[in-house]
Structure 1
């Protein structure tokens, strides 16, 4: 590793704490204190990358010397890491490199010469000595490092070393060296752990260039356990939109996993291959029973110990069972076996598991699933089918809904290869449908539903086919294929019309009514009423809940919120009684819609109550995640971005389904956009568009408003205008977030006109478009929703719309339009729009000649406070630039932050924000250290990090930036 101060790799994810800890050691040299840190971890966990990035961040005046130990088995070159470190050092004139002695041992003279040389060098500038892969270092290097570590306390020398877990045995010199230095003063240890689930997802996004699907993250994490190197290999070459891993592991990954395994004895390799085929932690005596080679029998404990020393196996907690140190090892070992040998081993395991049952072992899910798997892998199809059905039943009893789905899918495949039995196949399909519904596996359920539709004769079972068509339409909606397929619902009504007293007829009518109401068709309300009358006849809770929800929807369409609340509450009760989670989810959403506007706290509270109801009933995560996504959207709208982030994490904690995923991505895009992370916003939007087939046709998702915002922030107002006007008609605009669309269209025109003026181009055509826009839409289309809050929100957006038109026209009264709009948004808790209106108000008040400087100052400070609170970096930057250009002072306490308290600032860690409050208040390093019970060195390290992140040169400049005095351009765009 060359001592290049530029970090050329990707930004490390999930390592902020570790980077801070290494930064403390590196800063010791700057503070004239000797310090040593040993970073240990498994192969591929990222030790070298972490150290390289930390070194790239250290003080530029520091001399970083980097040496690598190499696995030279046949050559013993003394001091090799030190030679490479000193050879590549960029030294000042007059500092010759040290001369190493000859031979394979470290003599007193050679060690002293190296020590003296480092002392001389470090007097001129702080020195950091990095030794990578210490486990391969020669004894001369180890002896020299021990001597350096024991050197003067006040020498500005920091030593960093990386060492691999399990790389050497107990008799290796490194083990003695580690034991020696561990007891020395000023030596610290940093065990580097794998990435967690969230950080793994962030790394995959980095590797793929797009946000990965949750199912892909789950599969990768289950294979790699968060090892960063294996994460990268696992997705190498995969398309960015992949939902699953390929069936076979990439060759590079297999080679990386097996590198240590090849060093084992033949007997240990054979034993671990057997254990890999077993597929789960095992006892040593069971492995003895299963090995094929006599030489390996009765030797399992010793062979497992040998494999453990090489980092291949681990003894599990409790000390009885053994399994692989990393889950990928088992998979790679089994894949490399010859097919016939693998089948024989699986047959042996099937017989072994059967013997355990005969001896009285419990027939639990794990045992039954293992038997099914081994018979299947051995090619025993009939036995595999029988055991798979037993395992699926056991999964149901154990609550393993996902496992039941997988097993029943496999049983269906096995049944097909055993011979065609239509009745048995239909029974399996129905079992699989029920299991998928209980697990929330909507893609699986849809596949089964469509198979049942294809195999159900309309002439013989019309009611059954009608019910299947209704569910098919619902699933096509939730998986993003089609927005409430009216044709399917209409066909279902026709089929079920043969028995108007049936639950299927009520279900079909309710589904048709919902589809018609979404499309503003007048027949929808009548069909909803007819559905409710039909549902009450058979007394079926599922049909009753759906019909009640359809009538709640009809009530809200006429503005009758009281009626909507009454109906939706009853719908929730009916669906909860029958544990129909789809119907319950729908009823909860209509209940929330009748409570208040979706961008309000009462709406959020209603959704939270509904989420708790679903969780209490054991609903599949897909419904809970989808509700969390709606809550995130509402939190985002009212400026509670931290709660928004938490809700987004819940929604993406596992696969939330296509519709849930799309909605969550759109919310995440808006949050990233307003906080200045343009690329992240574009990535989320692209992912939402990839997973939703019809995009804008899904009227419950704000594709067009979010697209328009993204284009505006990217500096493309022309595209933003086209997007905002794509579905501009009064009948279709009164849907989710469409109050935003006309103001966005007007904003895009105003931006285009300002750009044309700046470039000296004519503006007549653009002004004509603005006039036409106002003529066609003198007011905003809106929901038939008559709550006081929604009415005030609509008034605020109307004021915003008019202000944007006024900006396009350069109207004389435009400054006051922005002032009134900002106040209207403040009164409705729509903080982002309030901050934006403050920015535009300041611009209008100061142009062309400082119309009202006092009011401009008031709104500037108000906008700055909101922008800091929201961490809206583009707005913050724009307002700071205006303040600097107009020479408006913005001194005063940071809004929301008492002196010495935590200051919100984009990109800083929690600890850094805490320190920033003290820096702004003027505290010294010593005062900050006492207040936070940390060392002055740690304070200095954090301050250096904050200077780097904010692009400031010193504490004074940092304080000025945070309080709004500096004309510093933060990263991001000039407007949200």
Structure 2
């Protein structure tokens, strides 16, 4: 096809190719269908090849979402063309390449998944560097808008990599509805901030360029043609030479009618094969001799409906040409042709895993009509999902298993339960825990109809693991777990031998322990803890023991017995070098960090945070990156660095947005509430807090928060009314991850209101926190020493000696922890106590220290309050 216009765009692309060197260059060619993206990329490739650059090509399939498809094609082409010397595939690269994939362990850790994926992506980057060691390399990645999620993850990784080699990636993508892809848009947006990136957005050809493309055609009105086509090259080539009308399907039909009817039928059949197809498969699908079929395909090439791309492969001239041909076939005929193609693929490639995705796709499409094909379709979809899991492509595996479940026979409960379990595992490893919990719930219901004990226990354990979250009740899981235990015990009593029974029983015990703890069933939790710990000891499994300890420490001991928690935390430290699961190790470190925060050992905490940061970076876990950022945000606020705390709060929110099914808005709102308070800007948040309180899901925490806000801004009557229901209930609020935060808000409110009875009740309830730092959840916020709140309450009750002692302890602890914010808050309250005791000069001196230190740190609220004390 002629190359018309695009002179400026071609120059920009060639300049990008010429500049590739120490940093990999990226060229994005964007535009609507038919605008000439692939044609421009081909011209760039041709000229680069003439200059001695090695050119490799990979594309994304319109029908399939094959993991890493274009990169796999590029690597295969490079080996086939001798671009890189054949040799053993590096171990880190093996999961990428079908045939070298090992089946994934159902219990593989998500943390390990991300470490393996990172290593694989790095191996791909190193492979490109090796391929470009002697000659520059140009890699065309076509139709990125059709790319699988795993492909986009890999491209994002390569694009972020700071160093590189003389490699240029040229990527084409549609950027118009309905084909635009949000993740592709995000990739492009990220790329535009890099110096080595060129983004070329193609518009329509000019009138002169369009005339060159259309060629001499007597009597055609080019102005009318330009109005119809907007200069789109594909549409220009579809112009009817007789009347100037523009219609792709009509243009395809005009070219078709010039061909033999047999050629026309051949093209309709191969349109089902895909945008690109193999001669052998096409011959098998049409039941034709290859030489005989080549006559038809070559005729189609001459009619500009197909392109011969070499190596016995052909490609439709454009996706719109293919879709036009395919649309002429009824759905019934398409389904039957999919069946013929599936048989042809199996005949040509047998069980070659490299062709398993297309084999599974065509079999599934045929099985929609031909029920006899459904068992084999389910089997092939399942195998394709296993391969995708082995390639760490969990989103694609999820899609494949969803389709397998839809095609599985409705009366085969065992197969349906097994597929649901596998589906949930894929969703979990894709980070979609809430969705996975629902899927595991379906697996539980289906497994009940079977006598497969392991399946029933596995489904229950997986359901609990996917559904638990701090602050959530575990009641929904308890029934499933109790039933699973009964089934397991019954099978053992009947003499059945189960594989890995002890490990299965230990995992079930951990799940029951966590569910009981989160449900508040305290006495049963202790029994479950002892049982789970005993099973871990029998197994001699550090991972299991660490998991048991983490659950019990974080869900029970941190609320009740810090002395007992200390010995358990020490045991976690002993287990640390023995734990070989990154996720378990990070959970254990997280619990140790929280314990150090609670007991005020900030020197230990900071050392543990450094250790955790190193492990997180090695594991490349996005979730633990989010947790690490939360720890940094907590410390910035604790220290009183409000600007850094706000920056990190926004960073945490953005990281949460990048995690599947993670909502960071609640944590962000709480952090900003406290930051704005210390900036003395809390009144502006009142309308927002009122809105949140009006929604049931926000009432538990934000009703006390609104009451505190109102009390601090002088609206004491309204504050008393807002807090009245909680006060009348004796401040009986759920003891969960937010309990301490709610109690802090209530204590502040009662003190502001001068409610002596309420202060007395709260002081008793908060007494168990003496000797610790008040911390939200798993380390979201740290409010400093609990003695400050006890001292405030004692002061409001007029018990000045107690208040002095408690606030002195708080000041000492907050100062030792390095908190400018909370040490000065404690100092301010202590100055009030000393003033009430008649020590005015000492009180003024304390308030003056608060004023100066708070002003230096930008703590406007404390400055205002200190100045009020000194007035």
Using structure 1 for the length normalisation, give the TM-score: 0.46
Q: Does 1:568 align with 2:572?
A: yes
Q: Distance in 2 between matches of 1:815 and 1:551?
A: 35
Q: Does 1:547 align with 2:551?
A: no
Match of 1:221 among 165, 182, 186: 182
Q: Which residue of 1 aligns with 2:168?
A: none
CA distance 1:656–1:440, change in 2 (3 Å): closer
Greater helix share, structure number: 2
CA deviation vs aligned residue, 1:66-106 (integer Å, no higher than 9, x gap): xxxxxxxxxxxxxxxxxxxxxxxxxxxxxxxxxxxxxxxxx
Q: Which residue of 2 aligns with 1:473?
A: 464
Q: Which residue of 1 aligns with 2:392?
A: 399
Match of 1:655 among 655, 659, 683: 659
Deviation, 1:475, is 2.6
Query: Is 2:653–2:665's contact at 8 Å kept on the other side of the alignment?
Result: no
Query: Is 1:668–1:681's contact at 8 Å kept on the other side of the alignment?
Result: no
Q: Distance in 1 between matches of 2:327 and 2:275?
A: 23
The alignment's C-alpha RMSD in Å is 6.6
Q: Does 1:409 align with 2:381?
A: no
Deviation, 1:803, is 3.7
Q: Which residue of 1 aligns with 2:63?
A: none
Deviation, 1:864, is 2.0
Q: Which residue of 1 aligns with 2:423?
A: 432
Q: Which residue of 2 aligns with 1:606?
A: 608
SS in structure 2 opposite 1:478?
coil
Q: Which residue of 2 aligns with 1:774?
A: 759
Using structure 2 for the length normalisation, give the TM-score: 0.50
Match of 2:561 among 551, 558, 563: 558
Q: Distance in 1 between matches of 2:502 and 2:476?
A: 22
Q: Distance in 2 between matches of 1:377 and 1:687?
A: 48
SS in structure 1 opposite 2:611?
helix
CA distance 1:740–1:436, change in 2 (3 Å): closer
CA distance 1:549–1:290, change in 2 (3 Å): farther
Q: Which residue of 1 aligns with 2:473?
A: 482
Deviation, 1:454, is 1.0
Q: Which residue of 1 aligns with 2:238?
A: 266
Alignment of 1:675-686 (within 5 A): 676=681
Q: Distance in 1 between matches of 2:347 and 2:686?
A: 59
CA distance 1:566–1:853, change in 2 (3 Å): closer
CA distance 1:558–1:595, change in 2 (3 Å): same
CA distance 1:571–1:467, change in 2 (3 Å): farther
Q: Which residue of 1 aligns with 2:853?
A: 862
Query: Is 2:460–2:477's contact at 8 Å kept on the other side of the alignment?
Result: no
Query: Is 2:657–2:663's contact at 8 Å kept on the other side of the alignment?
Result: no
Q: Distance in 2 between matches of 1:633 and 1:514?
A: 26
Deviation, 1:497, is 4.4
Query: Is 1:628–1:647's contact at 8 Å kept on the other side of the alignment?
Result: yes
CA deviation vs aligned residue, 1:640-696 (integer Å, no higher than 9, x gap): 516734761673252254587755664466456656598899879989999xx9778
Deviation, 1:442, is 1.5
Q: Distance in 2 between matches of 1:339 and 1:711?
A: 69
Task: State the number of aligned residues.
Answer: 587
CA deviation vs aligned residue, 1:507-546 (integer Å, no higher than 9, x gap): 4444444445553724433431232223333556665444
Q: Does 1:531 align with 2:520?
A: no
Q: Which residue of 2 aligns with 1:799?
A: 788
Q: Which residue of 1 aligns with 2:381?
A: 388
Q: Distance in 2 between matches of 1:784 and 1:820?
A: 13
Q: Distance in 2 between matches of 1:550 and 1:363?
A: 45
Q: Does 1:828 align with 2:831?
A: no
In the alignment, structure 2 segments of 5+ residues that lack a partner are 1-28, 33-154, 157-179, 190-228, 240-246, 254-266, 282-293, 308-313, 494-500, 776-781
CA deviation vs aligned residue, 1:883-926 (integer Å, no higher than 9, x gap): 7x9999xxxxxxxxxxxxxxxxxxxxxxxxxxxxxxxxxxxxxx
CA distance 1:845–1:349, change in 2 (3 Å): farther
Deviation, 1:412, is 1.6
Deviation, 1:413, is 1.5
Q: Distance in 1 between matches of 2:791 and 2:676?
A: 27
Deviation, 1:854, is 6.9
In the alignment, structure 1 segments of 5+ residues that lack a partner are 1-40, 45-195, 198-218, 229-257, 303-319, 325-329, 752-765, 889-976
CA deviation vs aligned residue, 1:728-759 (integer Å, no higher than 9, x gap): 668965x64644444422432455xxxxxxxx
Alignment of 1:731-880 (within 5 A): 736=737, 738-749=739-750, 751=752, 767=754, 770-779=755-764, 781=766, 796-800=785-789, 802-803=791-792, 806=795, 825-834=814-823, 856-867=847-858, 875=860, 879=863
Query: Is 1:291–1:297's contact at 8 Å kept on the other side of the alignment?
Result: no
Q: Distance in 2 between matches of 1:423 and 1:294?
A: 52
Q: Distance in 2 between matches of 1:685 and 1:278?
A: 57
CA distance 1:295–1:282, change in 2 (3 Å): closer
Query: Is 1:412–1:425's contact at 8 Å kept on the other side of the alignment?
Result: yes
CA deviation vs aligned residue, 1:161-181 (integer Å, no higher than 9, x gap): xxxxxxxxxxxxxxxxxxxxx
